[in-house]
Amino acid sequence: MTKGILIAGTHSGVGKTTVSMGIMAALKHRQLRVQPYKVGPDYIDPSHHTAICGRSSRNLDTYMMGTEGVRQTVARTSADADIVVVEGVMGLFDGIDSTEIASSAHVAKTLDIPVILVINVHGMSRSAAAILKGYSEFDPEVRVAGVILNQVGSPRHAELVKNALPGNIPVIGTIPRRKEIEVPSRHLGLYMAHEKDYNTADMAAFIEENVDLDAVLELAEPCSVPEAEVIQKPGTDLRIGVAWDPAFCFYYQDMFDSFRNCGAEVVFFSPMAGDVPDVDGIYLGGGYPELYAEALENSETTRKLKGLAADGLPIYAECGGLLYLCGTYEVDDRTYKLADVVPANTRMTNRLKALGYTEARPLDKNFSSHNIKGHEFHYSFTECDRDARFAYEMIRGKGIQDGFDGLVEHNTLAGYMHSHPASFPVEKFVGKCREYRRR
C-alpha cells in the first residue's frame, strides 16, 4: 500500500495550504509520484495540487462520501503513486457541527495515517508547547507524528520555540515568513491555479531549505485502504459537455470519472468563448460568473442554451451554473441578460448568503430514491417566479428559497447545492442524456 501523510493546521490561516503545496512541489522535484488530496468540499486547493503534482487531486470528505467512500477513492487513485499527501481543512479536529465527521482528524483515522501539524508561531514561543500538547493528546487515535513551525521570525525565535516543545514529537521544519510564495485570496477563497504562475522549482527549493523532507518521507505510513473496487465500464455511447473556463471551474474529478463509468465521454467547452459542442447533456459547475458577466452576456452559448433546454437537452447546473441559467444577473449595479433557462433572476451581494454542508430530500422519487449530500457557498441572492418548481427540500442548508433548492425546467436542474457523485444520482442524469440522444 502507498504510504501517506496528512498535513493539518491548528486552525484556518496558519499556512497549511502553502506548506502542503510546498511539500508536494519538493517531493515532485525529487521525481516522486505524488498523489494529492484535500480534506473537505473545497475546489480551489485541489486545483493547485493538480498543477503542482501533475496528477488530479481528489477530495476526501467523510460527510459527503462516508468513510468507505474515502477509502475507496484513495485505493482507486493512489496505487501507482510513491506517496500520498493529504492537505487538511480548518483546524485538525474541526468537523461538521461539534463532531469529528468531515474533519482532518477523521480522515487521518479513516486512512490510519500520521499527521504533520503546522503551528503558526508568530508572536509566541513557549506557548507553542501548550498548543502541541493539547493537539497531540486530545484524541489518542490521531497520531501527531511531526511539527512544522510556520511564520518563524528568526533563527533565535525558532530555537526558543523548539527548546520549549516536548521531545517526543520531532520538529521537522521551521519556515520563515515569505509573502511571495503565498497564494492571494478573494471572496470565495484562494485564486485558482490557472490564475497563478507557478515557480515550482523555487517553491521546492524553499521547502528543501526549511523542512526536513527526508523526515517527511520517514514519517509517512501505509494508507489503510481496501483493494479498489473493479468497475465494469460500458461502452461509450454519449457525450456530456462540461463548462470549463475562468467563469466555471469548480468541479470534482470524481464526477467526471462517474460520468465515464456510466458510458459518457466528457467534452470540455467554454461558455465564455461561445462554443457549444455536439453533446447529449451539459454540466455547468460553480465558479466566478460575476467576474465575467459581460463576456457571458455576449456569448453565443448564452443565446443558444434557452433553445437547447426547451428542446429537452438535459442540463445540470450548480451555484455559478444556476446564476448563469437565470434570466438576469445584477452585479455592481449593472444588470446582465443571461441564458434565461430557469424562471428566476439573481444578483450579487457583498455579504455571505450561505456557507456549509447540505442535505436535500428529493421531491421526485424518480429522480433519486435517497437524500443527496453536498455543500453551499455563495454571495448571491436568487428570486424565483411564482410558478417555479423545485427538485429538493433542504433538510440541512438554505437552498434557493424557503428551504427548497434545485429549480426544474424542461430537463434542466439548477441549484445552489454543490453535490458529490457519492450521493448525486449520476446514473439518472446520464440516463436522461442517453434518452435525449436516442430520440
Catalytic residue numbers, as ranges: 319
CA dist., res. 377 & res. 44, Å (int): 13
Q: How far apart are CA 29 and CA 47, in angstroms?
A: 18
Q: How many CB atoms lie within 10 A of CB 93?
A: 18
| Nearest-angstrom CA–CA distance, 431 and 73 | 24
Tell me 119's DSSP state.
E
C-alpha triplet 410, 412, 418: angle, nearest 5°: 155
Residue 274 burial (10 A CB sphere; 0-12, 13-18, 19+): middle
Residues 6+ apart with CB under 8 A from 228: 72, 75, 76, 79
User: Is the CB of residue 254 less than 8 Å from the CB of residue 420?
Assistant: yes
The alpha helices in 38-120, defined as continuous H runs, are 44-53, 66-78, 104-111
CB 360 within 8 A of CB 347: no
Dihedral sign for Cα 234, 238, 244, 247, please.
negative
3-class secondary-structure state, position 394 = strand
Antiparallel, parallel or unpaired: β 328-331 and 334-337: antiparallel
Which 3 state secondary structure label does DSSP give 208? helix
46 vs 17: CA distance, rounded Å: 10
> What is the residue whose three cell numbers read 506517496?
83
Q: Is 35 in a helix, a strand, or coil? A: strand
Whole-number Å distance between alpha carbons of 413 and 214: 49
One-letter amino acid of 281: G
Assess contact for 268 and 234: CB atoms under 8 A: no
Residue 112 in contact with residue 74, Cβ under 8 Å? no
CA 392, CA 268: separation in Å to the nearest integer? 28
